[in-house]
């Protein structure tokens, strides 16, 4: 058997601890599968004295994570610090500059600096791997870059944030309001103290931009992801969606068409018979559509120490086996710089929710706004609103151009009969 | 860019034609992703003159497929002939003996001769790959052997035969009897003229034995797969299952426990909220459970030219990239020879269907048989039977040892009140 593969591990939080435990618990199995042992020789974390329940007695400790790259007894650096810049980025650059392989779970860093790092890795023939950065334990990076490699991929979408999925699922199952579930999730450690990255869709956008690059052979363009989170989703929306045969999910969706790249993160109404509708709780799920393979679905746990460690170590085993591929599926120079698609030109069905004064003529006004813009209505529900006597009007449009729907919505919002900000959600007819 | 990877292709049926088309249609994309072109230099099939709608003008033709292995202009042989022995096996042996990589979609051959071939490939450092052999276009071989490689996998199961899934789905949706749907499927080309391999579960058993080897690091033991097909499934079973909250699927299930290997193919009642229940039509789906990653689901099209070609070419791209792994995830010598588990010692819920004479005391007799063996009843439905005045009794047991349920069933079957062969199906409580 070959010499062990020696790991320098930066970050000993939930995931870092999981990696240490996994490599210890399954050491024999991994060595047989990888053809060599995989051992952690050096670690770095913020607090040396914290009890993490893992044995680090045989492992060197570095106060400065970025110095892991320089150690002679480290072949591969695993970065689990997080953050798009700062020490994580410094460590990535130093590791590649030192001619070593780099494994990361850091979607924010890849979304912002992935092309730069991939270019360096490629120029030096080094592995740069990130299975854990998207959809946690689900091997979707491998699925896209190796499993579907024969295919022109036209679309990739899914549920990429377990926190949002957990919140929406609990709202539905327990009939709770968003704020209540969020507070509970924070107390239980399922959501961050500052939940913005998750619930405002930014984390999903990071992951989506990486999937899009890989799927389409395109340059990462995180800045072009139209991003909307789940703060505006009310229990009433979930109920009305259910009545109409849908479940609300935070969906990240990317497509290419006519040389343009469409990327959007948004709460969407998913038909109940679509596989994404069945992925509840903290599950993640990714759908990718290839021209030969058709629609593939990958589903599993998107976060947590075990699943994320599983993905990190899968990358390490690939490196131990000597397997390597281009970071984004093809040479960086071949990745196309695709201009963003014009979202207003899209066509689909839309869910609209308006809070209106409960007086005669309001419904006529709303429906006239849609008529004026050539949008026809598939379903309409009007209900008295418990809170303040206002009425709630929910509509699902027939297929219509998005620009027309937005214009109709603007016309409605300008009416003094409309008392709250109108909400529009997309219907996932895929 | 490196020299092209040159393919000798044996078999030009649906899948072989698909491979040729895929390599032509996506040639540029594949070359960028693989780092070199992949070209078919020689082919072999039964009928040279058949119009397959593909351009073979620049391709050498071999009347004897087994001679592809010897050609100087062939680096990799792709075998799409089928059959566990005969020319496919001869070609496999000759290819590896000639020091060339071998790619196959042939589950029957792997189930019977996979260990022999893997041993030869390993000894010579050659790639032997078979993504297309299991679950068609779904990258589940890669998912298990590379994506989940950090995990101890305890269970793998799924829907591995599109024909059975198609038949069961049509029976339910169109309210048709098994024989009618089978005849239609044969006429439409979805089922073979001799459908036994599919509907008697043999094809599923082939695939399951391969998945089990890969998942558990065990020697393939196809002979130990307890195999039962879907011929006994009646529309009435599907209806009663639906009433009770289940959908009937042909499930292949493998587990390891206490050093034993459990492998079974059987029609099972899948709870409607389990992801396998939602995989309808000709879809395949595989669930694998790892100790760190938890439950992963892979779903997609399990057959057809496009999906299968996608899997074959993914293997070719891996070979072109120089990526290689052990055939069954670890060295053949490390694969454990696991003795078969005793199925009678299993515990679960069971669905029982009996046709009985419609006279007093019959139900008491049936329920007494269960009581005598300590099996308690969770649900019971009795209905008049349209056909001949007999009654149909359907029961779901509480969790019970399988040996007890079988003994109770034997006692019932011996009663002169029971007019047809009793049917027992497993409930998938996973």
DSSP A327-351: TTSS-GGGSB-PPBP-GGG-EE-EE
- Rounded CA-CA distance B428/B253 in Å is 10
User: Of the residues B100, B107, B142, B207, which is catalytic?
Assistant: B207
Give the H or E element holding residue B283: strand B283-290
Contacts of B44 (CB under 8 A, 6+ apart): B8, B9, B10, B11, B12, B61, B62, B63, B64, B65, B67, B68
Write out chain B residues lying below 8 Å of A139, CB-based. 142-143, 146-148, 296
* Strand positions, DSSP E, B324-415: 347-348, 350-356, 377-384, 391-397, 400-401
Give the H or E element holding residue A426: strand A423-427
Q: How many residues in total does chain A contain?
A: 430
Kindly state whether B334 is in contact with chain A, defined as any CB-CB distance less than 8 angstroms: yes
Q: How many residues in total does chain B contain?
A: 430
Cβ contact A26–B295 (<8 Å)? no
Quick check: A218 and A338 in contact, CB under 8 A?
A: yes
User: Of the residues A100, A107, A207, A249, which is catalytic?
Assistant: A207
pLDDT, tens digit, 9 for 90 and up, residues B102-133: 999 999 999 999 999 999 999 999 999 999 99
Structural domains of chain B, ranges and CATH numbers in brackets: 5-133 (3.40.50.720), 140-298 (3.30.360.10), 344-427 (3.30.70.260)
Q: Is the dihedral of CA A361, A366, A371, A376 positive or negative?
A: negative
Q: Smallest Cα–Cα separation from B119: which of B93, B86, B147?
A: B93
Q: How far is B278 from chain A (nearest CA, A)?
A: 7
Helix then strand count (H, E) for chain A reads 13, 18
What are the two backbone dihedrals, phi and then psi, of residue B336, each rounded to the nearest 5 degrees?
-85, 140
Predicted model pTM:
0.96
Cβ contact B299–A297 (<8 Å)? yes
Helices A178-188 and A162-174 pack at an angle, to 10 degrees, of 120
Write out chain A residues lying below 8 Å of B151, CB-based. 26, 310
Kindly state whether A306 is in contact with chain B, defined as any CB-CB distance less than 8 angstroms: yes
Residue among B309, B314, B329 minimizing CB distance to A146: B314
User: 10-residue block means of pLDDT along chain A (430 residues)?
Assistant: 93 95 98 97 92 89 96 98 96 98 98 98 97 97 98 98 96 96 89 90 98 98 97 95 96 95 98 94 97 98 95 98 92 97 91 91 93 96 76 94 96 92 95
Cβ contact A26–B329 (<8 Å)? no
Q: Which of A150, A290, A317 should we substitute to test contact with B (largest number of B Cβ atoms within 10 Å)?
A: A150
Quick check: A314 and B148 in contact, CB under 8 A?
A: yes
- Rounded CA-CA distance B191/B181 in Å is 10
Kindly state whether A33 is in contact with chain B, defined as any CB-CB distance less than 8 angstroms: yes
Q: How far is A316 from chain B (nearest CA, A)?
A: 9
Q: Which of residues 240-279 of B touch A (CB under 8 A)?
A: 273, 275, 278
- Rounded CA-CA distance A75/A107 in Å is 22
Token couple for B398: 């509480």
Token couple for B319: 């070979």
Looking up tokens 């779903």 gives: B299
Q: How far is B282 from chain A (nearest CA, A)?
A: 12
Predicted complex ipTM: 0.96
pLDDT at res. B58? 87
Q: Smallest Cα–Cα separation from B18: which of B234, B280, B313?
A: B313
* Count of CA atoms in the C-beta half-sphere (13 A) of B351: 26
Token couple for B327: 């055939």
pLDDT at res. B48? 86
Kindly state whether A311 is in contact with chain B, defined as any CB-CB distance less than 8 angstroms: yes
* Count of CA atoms in the C-beta half-sphere (13 A) of A327: 33
Contacts of B171 (CB under 8 A, 6+ apart): B177, B178, B181, B233, B235, B238
Query: Following DSSP, what letter does each residue of B10-67 receive, concatenated?
Result: E--SHHHHHHHHHHHHTHHHHHHHHSS-EEEEEEE-S-TT---SS--TTSEE-SSGGG
Q: Smallest Cα–Cα separation from B337: which of B259, B263, B258, B265?
A: B259
Q: A357 by DSSP, 3-state: which?
A: coil
Cβ contact A139–B314 (<8 Å)? no
Contacts of B403 (CB under 8 A, 6+ apart): B344, B345
Q: What is the dihedral of CA A135, A137, A143, A145, to 10 degrees?
A: 70
Angle value at C-alpha A208, between A206 and A209, nearest 5 degrees = 70
Give the H or E element holding residue B298: strand B294-301
- Rounded CA-CA distance B133/B119 in Å is 18
Low-confidence ranges of chain B (pLDDT < 50): none
A23 by Cβ neighbours in 10 Å (0-12 / 13-18 / 19+) ranks as buried
Concerning whether A107 is annotated as a catalytic residue, the answer is: no
pLDDT at res. B251? 98
Token couple for A47: 């607090």
Kindly state whether B336 is in contact with chain A, defined as any CB-CB distance less than 8 angstroms: no
- Rounded CA-CA distance B162/B306 in Å is 14
Kindly state whether A173 is in contact with chain B, defined as any CB-CB distance less than 8 angstroms: no
- Rounded CA-CA distance B106/B80 in Å is 7
Kindly state whether A309 is in contact with chain B, defined as any CB-CB distance less than 8 angstroms: yes
């Amino acid at each position: 058997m070959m010499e062990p593969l020696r790991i320098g591990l930066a970050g000993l939080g939930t995931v870092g601890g999981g990696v240490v435990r996994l490599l210890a618990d399954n050491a024999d199995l991994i060595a047989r599968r990888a053809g060599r042992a995989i051992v952690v020789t050096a670690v770095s974390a913020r607090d040396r004295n914290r009890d993490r329940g893992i044995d680090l007695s045989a492992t060197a400790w570095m106060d400065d994570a970025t110095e892991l790259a320089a150690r002679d007894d480290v072949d591969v650096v695993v970065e689990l610090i997080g953050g798009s810049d700062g020490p994580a980025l410094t460590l990535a650059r130093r590791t590649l500059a030192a001619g070593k392989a780099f494994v990361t779970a850091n979607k924010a860093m890849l979304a912002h600096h992935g092309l730069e790092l991939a270019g360096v890795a490629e120029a030096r023939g080094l592995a740069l791997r990130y299975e854990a950065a998207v959809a946690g334990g689900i091997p979707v990076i491998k699925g896209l870059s190796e499993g579907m490699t024969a295919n022109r991929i036209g679309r990739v979408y899914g549920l990429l944030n377990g926190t949002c999925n957990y919140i929406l699922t609990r709202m539905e199952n327990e009939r709770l309001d968003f704020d209540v579930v969020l507070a509970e999730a924070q107390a239980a450690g399922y959501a961050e103290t500052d939940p913005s990255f998750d619930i405002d869709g930014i984390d999903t956008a990071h992951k989506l931009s990486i999937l899009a690059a890989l799927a389409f052979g395109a340059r990462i363009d995180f800045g072009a992801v139209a991003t909307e989170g789940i703060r505006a989703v009310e229990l009433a929306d979930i109920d009305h969606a259910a009545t109409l045969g849908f479940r609300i999910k935070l969906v990240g969706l990317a497509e290419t068409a006519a040389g343009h790249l469409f990327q959007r993160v948004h709460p969407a109404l998913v038909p109940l018979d679509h596989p994404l509708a069945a992925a509840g709780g903290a599950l993640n799920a990714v759908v990718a559509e290839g021209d030969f393979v058709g629609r593939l679905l990958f589903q599993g746990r998107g976060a947590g120490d075990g699943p994320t460690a599983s993905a990190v170590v899968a990358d390490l085993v690939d490196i131990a086996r000597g397997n390597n591929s281009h970071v984004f599926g093809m040479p960086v120079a071949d990745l196309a710089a695709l201009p963003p698609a014009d979202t207003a030109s899209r066509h689909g069905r839309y869910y609209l929710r308006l809070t209106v004064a409960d007086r005669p003529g309001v419904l006529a006004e709303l429906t006239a706004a849609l008529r004026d813009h050539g949008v026809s209505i598939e379903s309409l529900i009007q209900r008295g609103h418990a809170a303040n006597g206002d009425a709630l009007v929910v509509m699902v449009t027939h297929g219509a151009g998005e620009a027309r729907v937005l214009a109709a919505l603007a016309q409605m919002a300008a009416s003094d009969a409309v008392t709250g900000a109108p909400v529009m959600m997309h219907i996932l007819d895929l």
